[in-house]
Structure 1
Amino acid sequence: MRSTRLPGKVMMPILGQTLLSRMIERLQMVKHRATILVATSLDPMDDAIENETALLGLPCFRGSENNLLERHYQAALLHKAHVVLKIPSDCPLIDPAAIDEVLGFYLAHADKYDYVSNLHPATWPDGNDVEVMSIDCLAKAYWEAGKPLELEHTTPYIWENPDDFRIGNVVWETGLDYSMSHRFTIDYEADYEFIKRVFEELYPINPQFSCGDILNLLEQKPEIYQINAAYAGVNWYRNHLDELKTITAEQTRDVSTENGKS
């Protein structure tokens, strides 16, 4: 709830429900069996998230506000998870098929990989972020990571140390790379307006709309794409390029270069 760029974003309304509720609805479309858990912080402001999660009939874990690695690890331990699937709560347009594809790949090759994502390198439109790892992999990161960015973002210690972890990546089957050109995540008011409009256009026709459906909509109505186009390619990497070994400047962009805002 204390998001610095867009406070309270996960509770913003989308077609009469909260953004969090709409995102969980998307997660419940995943074909693989999985326990959905909302992990938030102990900050009193996040009581609203715990209350919303209870209304949705899902478990909620509350832990460190800034050490998300600890929060994810403790939540996984509490629920006796063997495989941990991490989805950011700011991806309400995530395609369930992307989750199934990455999780399916991991499960089919669990003897070969400790960690599999669709992010290194990313090819899907931003906002389809999927990371899957074994509990042993997450535990190793928890006990060994120490840099602030490793604690805040949960998994950098893993993908920054390929000699210590067996890492796999799933690319978008289209062969395209829209990771820097299309933005389906939420950090700014323009992102909210974009997501809201996409739901308004597609949800009444088909609540299970896909990433392909969104892209078709943007082709038909390019004015929707323009709503948050200025933020395409902007992600948290931009603030840590001097610390990240496996991320290049081509994989992020500073919004200030486009519209004068940081």
Structure 2
Amino acid sequence: MSNVKSTAFIIQARMGSSRLPNKMMLPFYDNKGILELLIEKINQFNNSNRYKIILATSTNHRDNQLAEIAQNNGLLVYKGSEEDVLARFVGAAETFGVDKIIRVCADNPFLDVNELERILTLVNEHEDYDYISFQINGIPSIKTHFGFWVEFTRIEALKKVASLTNDKFYHEHVTNFIYENPNLFKIKWINTMESLNQRKDIRMTMDTMEDYNNLKELYKQLYFEYKRIPSLEKIISYVDQNTIFKQKMITEINNNSK
């Protein structure tokens, strides 16, 4: 097995969201924001400290609050460019001696731990992939509204992207250049639940105030029902049985492109 200490979760988060400013600090559940809840979930998964966990935020003074939350929860913190997220990830990985990166977007409070284990198993079994992620109907999961999954990439792949393009889009969206150029990188796709291939009505990522209100209530009800956040299968089943959530998701999917 590869040296897991060279593998890190890098959580991408900042306060400056155009559609929902300060969303990281909004109370989501039990007086905690989504960043804190996400950190707790990853810390529980990483209970033997197999992997480093890093918050990659910006040098903007607004993001000092996020850095403080991360440090209080035992995370490493890297502050880099607010707009050039690619450079921020490379800087974080270089600063803390990381080769393999599990990229976590902090606006996904329903991150699925079982799927996390699947991707890490592949990372530890295969040394030669530049990028591993999930796909639904042939679409990278990062470009869907589901919000259950992470991505894997290597610092060398990110450095290669930086050397090949100065396009602002690819420096803001860290991995797009990689999966858009499969001739330049070795890529592995993981299939998700087959039933999800037909679903265009599930949105678990939080970008708007409508998302926040809908997902906050769903999170609370799931905790009441299961005493924890259950697997993605049970979450989707619950949404299907409580269609008020689904109708709001459909509205936000129609209003927000990915």
Q: Shorter chain as normaliser: what TM range?
A: 0.7 to 0.9
Task: State whether structure 2 residue 242 is matched by structure 1 residue 221.
Answer: yes
Deviation readout 1:61-108 (Å, 9 max, x if unpaired) = 110000000000110111111211101111111111122212222332
Residue 181 of structure 1 corresponds to 201
Residue 3 of structure 2 corresponds to none
For residues 210 and 119 of structure 2, what CA distance do their matches in structure 1 show? 29
Higher share in helix: 2
Residue 91 of structure 2 aligns to a residue in which SS?
Answer: helix
For residues 121 and 173 of structure 2, what CA distance do their matches in structure 1 show? 24
Residue 12 of structure 2 corresponds to none
Residue 94 of structure 1 aligns to a residue in which SS?
Answer: coil
**Aligned partners of 1:10 and 1:19 also within 8 Å:** yes
For residues 220 and 150 of structure 1, what CA distance do their matches in structure 2 show? 39
* TM-superposed deviation, 1:227: 2.6
For residues 227 and 211 of structure 1, what CA distance do their matches in structure 2 show? 18
Task: State whether structure 2 residue 183 is matched by structure 1 residue 163.
Answer: yes
Map 1:1-262 onto structure 2 (within 5 A): 1-15=15-29, 16-30=31-45, 33-111=50-128, 113-119=129-135, 121-122=139-140, 126-177=146-197, 180-204=200-224, 205-232=226-253, 238=257, 252=258
For residues 177 and 38 of structure 2, what CA distance do their matches in structure 1 show? 27
Aligned alpha-carbon RMSD (Å)? 2.2
**Aligned partners of 1:116 and 1:131 also within 8 Å:** yes
Name the aligned partner's letter for residue 24 of structure 1.
I
Higher share in strand: 2
For residues 137 and 148 of structure 1, what CA distance do their matches in structure 2 show? 17
**Aligned partners of 2:110 and 2:229 also within 8 Å:** no
Greater relative contact order (CA < 8 Å, ≥ 6 in sequence): 2
Residue 226 of structure 1 aligns to a residue in which SS?
Answer: helix
Gaps of 5+ in 1: 239-251, 253-262
User: Larger deviation: 30-39 or 70-79?
Assistant: 30-39
Deviation readout 1:45-73 (Å, 9 max, x if unpaired) = 11111122122221111100000000001
Residue 45 of structure 2 aligns to a residue in which SS?
Answer: coil
**Aligned partners of 2:201 and 2:249 also within 8 Å:** no
**Aligned partners of 1:183 and 1:233 also within 8 Å:** no
Alignment CA distance shift 1:125-1:211 (3 Å): farther
* TM-superposed deviation, 1:175: 4.6
Instruction: State percent identity of aligned pairs.
Output: 28
* TM-superposed deviation, 1:158: 1.1
Deviation readout 1:141-182 (Å, 9 max, x if unpaired) = 233231111000111221121111011111103453266321
Name the aligned partner's letter for residue 71 of structure 1.
R
Residue 241 of structure 1 corresponds to none
Residue 258 of structure 1 corresponds to none
What count of residue pairs does the alignment treat as equivalent? 236
Gaps of 5+ in 2: 1-14
**Aligned partners of 1:83 and 1:132 also within 8 Å:** yes
For residues 21 and 199 of structure 2, what CA distance do their matches in structure 1 show? 25
For residues 27 and 35 of structure 2, what CA distance do their matches in structure 1 show? 9
User: Larger deviation: 188-197 or 203-212?
Assistant: 203-212
